[in-house]
Amino acid sequence: MFLIFLLWTDPINTNFRGVAVKGTDVVAYFTQSQVVAGQKQFSVEWQGAKWYFSSAKNKELFTADPEKYAPQFGGYCAWAVSQGYTAGIDPEAWAIVEGKLYLNYSQSVKEKWSADQAALIKAAETNWPQILAK
């Protein structure tokens, strides 16, 4: 008897409850330039994940244009994706570059990513479709 395991990457990085970005309000990164916890009462489902927001207004902004606010690479660590794999994130390790939100595994990984940001973003953009196809 043979067992076959199929491994794939979900398009959105979620926790065990299916919540994206560990429940952080992704709109607040743009509007408040800080990490703000979302609340279950202001949630929406998008791309198979639950997204939490700190206010009805932020929920409305996201619902109107989710691509604008959703983190790149499904909310996985941008540095890891640039290296060809996925990793979790620390919501505190973030950056907005040219209007796009990028998250990283930790502050130390973010520093490494920031040192060669443009090249690593380009590598991650090349790797992301291949990672999703696995």
Structural domain total, the chain: 2
Q: Are residues 84 and 106 in the same domain?
A: yes
Q: Is residue 7 part of a domain?
A: no
Residue 63 tokens read as 């619902």
The CA distance from 34 to 47, in Å, is: 24
Angle between helical axes of 107-115 and 117-133 (0-180°, round to 10): 110
Q: Are residues 130 and 76 in the same domain?
A: yes
Segment 16-48, tens digit of pLDDT: 899 999 999 999 999 999 999 999 999 999 999
- Which pTM was predicted? 0.92
Print the domain residue range for 19. 12-65
Q: Are residues 92 and 130 in the same domain?
A: yes
Segment 67-76, tens digit of pLDDT: 999 999 999 9
Which of 22, 44, 65 is where one domain is finished?
65
Q: Is residue 2 part of a domain?
A: no
Q: Are residues 54 and 24 in the same domain?
A: yes
